[in-house]
Structure 1
């Protein structure tokens, strides 16, 4: 089963509040890695967070001192973003046609949103709006399938609904951009019901695919047996790719 970008966008927009409540954030090490690979500090940097959604990544960039602007195409996501981040500017747009002047941005970030772009258009747009020495960062926050119970759950989902339900995205080298990569493992401890609520925010479950409600109910019973205390530890791998636009860096 494959879910197209338009269906994903509609499903996310219709459940923006649930998405914001239950999707995980990112570890502080991600921002450290961004600064290390980009070669400049986030504080006072001009950052555009593209496909910002409800602002999970934008909030972290703002707290780090970046002068961040969120870019979000979806009406529902944009409304939820504004509700939760009233002091952070937001513009409607997408990565294929960025609403910024040439050479005006230090850092472009795509937190689990690069797959919504057409690289034939989004890469030239990144090169256009980034200043020389600016950086394009793309990352995803993927379940760590090296952990046994997570691998088993992934296998059950694919057995029930087929592959393609979860996107592991990484930007590949393109003309004018060469990407360095970094993998960051982290975890969070949450109640079983919170984990299932997070699972339900993925597009497979949001679009009402037949059998998803029964799957989540059965999964709750399995996890209660596996974790009798009622809590589990979700393990993730942040897969970061970053490319620096050729040219002189800003002093």
Structure 2
């Protein structure tokens, strides 16, 4: 299964994605502003791979002048339903449909991994103003929480992916993101949310690695996961813990 197929698999679950995926803490945007050395208020921001607008909404609430870039048909439809007053244009990070030197910040929330960094880094730099910056972030696994680490390993095994045991260190994260040669700051921000068991399972099954698998196999996995989690959370209120990994890069 190609990365492109996985990236576009979200179109089959756009409504589920919007309803169940985690958002981001306000401390993340505080950290972005600190790295930029300025407020987001009035800043022209392009949110690339915006999906259903989870990050776009928060950027707008911070006062940014946001435009979204989204390649997926169904995701763009859901975006327009949720944020009808925010412009969304079709495209992806490898070929941004934006003018040169037009934005002070280009953001990728959970979407940088779907780009070809040999193309997306030059594209972001093309679109940025001379004093602009690129910010990319992910909600990553809190490996120090035993039940979350164990679930991560079960999911990886089910999806045929290698299980990870730790986030990369600073230099490795910058290299993996293709940002070597830029001035990069990195922050990791821990946060949590409590959701229903149904929402937790819907979040899991909205991931690309699940969406490209057969529904029968996923149903069996999710049924067993529900059984396990009912033992850990008898009230069916699941406390999810995340670590947002943030990289802000400038020339």
Provide the TM-score with structure 1 as the length reference: 0.91
Instruction: Name the structure 1 match of 2:138.
Output: 140
Deviations 1:28-76 (A, max 9, x none): 0011000001112100000000000000000000111100000001111
Structure 2: any 5+ residue segments left out of the alignment?
168-172
Determine if the alignment matches structure 1 residue 179 to structure 2 residue 184: yes
Aligned runs of 1:10-159 on 2, under 5 Å? 10-159=8-157
Distance 1:21 1:85, change over 3 A: same
User: Is the 1:165–1:203 Cα contact (8 Å) retained in structure 2?
Assistant: no
How far 1:244 sits from its partner (Å)?
Answer: 1.7
Equivalent-residue separation in structure 1 for 2:105 and 2:201 (angstroms) = 34
Deviations 1:65-94 (A, max 9, x none): 100000001111111100110000111111
- 189, 192, 214: which one aligns with 2:197: 192
How far 1:174 sits from its partner (Å)?
Answer: 3.2
How far 1:165 sits from its partner (Å)?
Answer: 8.3
| Local SS of the residue matching 2:192 | strand
| Local SS of the residue matching 2:76 | helix
- 238, 244, 250: which one aligns with 2:250: 244
Give the number of the structure whose residues are more often helix, by fraction: 2
Equivalent-residue separation in structure 2 for 1:65 and 1:117 (angstroms) = 27
How far 1:203 sits from its partner (Å)?
Answer: 1.4
Hey, which bits of structure 1, 4+ residues long, moved more than 3 A?
none
- 225, 236, 239: which one aligns with 1:230: 236
Provide the TM-score with structure 2 as the length reference: 0.91
Determine if the alignment matches structure 1 residue 208 to structure 2 residue 213: yes
How far 1:9 sits from its partner (Å)?
Answer: 2.6
- Count of matched residue positions in the alignment of Structure 1 and Structure 2: 241
How large is the Cα RMSD of the aligned pairs?
Answer: 1.7
How far 1:164 sits from its partner (Å)?
Answer: 4.9
Equivalent-residue separation in structure 2 for 1:156 and 1:98 (angstroms) = 37
Structure 1: any 5+ residue segments left out of the alignment?
246-251
User: Is the 2:117–2:178 Cα contact (8 Å) retained in structure 1?
Assistant: no
User: Is the 2:187–2:245 Cα contact (8 Å) retained in structure 1?
Assistant: yes
Equivalent-residue separation in structure 2 for 1:197 and 1:106 (angstroms) = 35
